[in-house]
């Protein structure tokens, strides 16, 4: 028994709306989630009353309300990691003058919790709240390289587990294993063009008491403008920040 159907459907609606680029008609919600029309309207009415949904009557669509926003910021405020990491990330950006981000692993994806943009640098796809396939990003690779092999295998058991993105990145368990071995050997993870053409990243995992990767710190740059020596410097700065965050997390 996993609780009340109305509660579950309420949250399914909320999650569905959060995944849409724009507000949608009630009929779309009902058909997409397989809910009866009358129930859908009743749940939407409750959600509107509580401020989690708004009904844009002129357009006959429903969108997210400010209550959804505040639930999201409540999560962020409660996330100890974000609080601990914010200062070190800010200082990293000031030091290296490149944009940086903190990500966590969630299933086979990374989820970005912090983005610190450097002046004059472009906005990144890795904005707060964005999900990307872990195996295609430096952030994800850094964490996967620090995970036990059985856990990586459980996450990526076969070819079907590999989301593709313009044909880049590893596409089989063997290719991923090889890439993660190189990552461990090198001491930091790399990503060149795989997510955004022309951009590269270096990343280092943040480890907890048990040397388990709970996040990763990455810096992103235009890869033509960065020499190999500069790249090694960046990775050293990123590693220092990741270790600083680890120390804050584990109380030294």
**Residue 153 binds a second copy, judged by CB under 8 A:** no
- Centre a 10 Å sphere on the Cβ of residue 164 and count the other Cβ atoms it contains: 10
**Residue 45 binds a second copy, judged by CB under 8 A:** yes
Q: For a second copy, which residue of 28, 32, 33, 46 counts as binding (CB under 8 A)?
A: 46
Q: Which does 26 bind (CB under 5 to 8 A by kind): DNA, a second copy, none?
A: DNA
Question: What is the chain's Cα-based Rg?
Answer: 21
As to burial, measured by CB atoms within 10 angstroms (0-12 exposed, 13-18 middle, 19+ buried), residue 56 is: exposed
Which segments of the chain are extended strands (E)?
53-56, 61-64, 99-106, 109-116, 131-133, 189-192, 199-207, 213-222
Q: Which is nearer to DNA, 30 or 143 (CB)?
A: 30
Q: Which is nearer to a second copy, 1 or 174 (CB)?
A: 1
Q: Which is nearer to a second copy, 56 or 154 (CB)?
A: 56
Is residue 16 a contact partner of residue 63, using CB atoms and an 8 Å limit?
no
Q: Which is nearer to a second copy, 25 or 187 (CB)?
A: 25
Of 62, 49, 59, nearest to 18 by C-alpha is 62
Q: How far is the CB of 20 from DNA (least distance, A)?
A: 14
**Residue 17 binds a second copy, judged by CB under 8 A:** yes
* Residues at the site binding DNA, with contacts judged by CB under 7 A: 1, 4-7, 25-27, 35-39, 41-42, 45, 55, 57, 60
């Amino acid at each position: 028994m996993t609780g009340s159907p109305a509660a579950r459907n309420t949250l399914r609606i909320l999650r569905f709306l959060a995944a849409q680029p724009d507000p949608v008609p009630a009929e779309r919600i009902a058909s997409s989630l397989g809910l009866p029309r009358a129930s859908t309207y009743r749940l939407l009415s409750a959600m509107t009353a509580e401020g989690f949904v708004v009904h844009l009557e002129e357009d006959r669509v429903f969108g997210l309300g400010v209550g959804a926003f505040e639930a999201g910021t409540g999560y962020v405020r409660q996330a100890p990691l974000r609080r601990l990491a914010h200062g070190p990330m800010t200082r990293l950006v000031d030091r290296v003058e490149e944009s940086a981000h903190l990500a966590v692993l969630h299933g086979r994806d990374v989820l970005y919790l912090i983005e610190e943009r450097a002046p004059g640098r472009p906005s990144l796809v890795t904005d707060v709240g964005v999900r990307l396939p872990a195996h295609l990003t430096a952030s994800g690779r850094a964490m996967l390289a620090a995970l036990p092999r059985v856990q990586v295998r459980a996450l990526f058991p076969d070819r079907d587990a590999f989301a593709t993105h313009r044909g880049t990145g590893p596409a089989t368990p063997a290719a991923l294993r090889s890439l993660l071995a190189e990552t461990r050997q090198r001491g930091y993870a790399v990503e060149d063009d795989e997510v955004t053409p022309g951009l590269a990243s270096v990343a280092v995992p943040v480890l907890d008491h048990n040397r388990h990767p709970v996040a990763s710190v990455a810096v992103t740059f235009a890869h033509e403008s960065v020499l190999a020596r500069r790249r090694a410097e960046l990775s050293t700065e990123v590693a220092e920040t990741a270790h600083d965050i680890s120390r804050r997390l584990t109380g030294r």
